[in-house]
Amino acid sequence: MTLLRTPSQTIGPFSSIGFDWLNGSATVVADGSMEFLTIEGRIHDGDSRPVTDAVLEFWQADSDGQYREGFTRIVANAEGRFQFLTPKPGSIVAVDGTHHAPHLLAMIFMRGLLKQLYTRLYFSDEALNARDPILNLVPSARRATLIARRSTSEPPTYGWDLVLQGAHETVFFDC
């Protein structure tokens, strides 16, 4: 007898019910030395229609460049918008000694996806972006989809839109 693998299942049209308690802004665990900033954006499809049932999960390194408990989940609202307050992540050092620019790891869950999507959010005013080994794997014409733009200085606010399809699709990574 041969057992066959069963396919993944989408999370269905009612996924938001289990995430209602997440609505609003959330803050990840931070140590006292980290600068806080706001991330705001919109998630939409290739036709600019909002994705109203997306759950975004963000992970980040602390000021020492370590992944500990630094994560948050946010639910997109009826316009596909999201916003949260977070400490600016630290720079991680890879096993080979290379420094990664401060960034947030992002996972996107929504109806119709068999597996979550993975991407990164970098900061427009970060000098280490020029040397980040992952960002530099992305063709230069597409890197802007991974970079949040600073819109205000005090408090620091960054805008970042996620586009799921089309000419301006956000870069997603296979994991």
Q: Domain map of the chain by residue range?
A: 15-163
Tell me the chain's radius of gyration from C-alpha atoms: 17
Tell me whether residue 99 is exposed, middle or buried, using C-beta atoms within 10 angstroms of its C-beta: 0 to 12, 13 to 18, 19 or more: middle
Task: Report pLDDT digits (tens) over 102-114.
Answer: 999 999 998 888 8
**For 173, which DSSP code?**
B
Neighbours of 35 (CB within 10 A): 10
Q: What is the CATH number of domain 15-163?
A: 2.60.130.10
Residue 70's pLDDT is 75
Considering the chain, what is the average pLDDT of its residues?
86
- 3-class state of residue 18 by DSSP: helix
The whole model's pTM is what?
A: 0.84
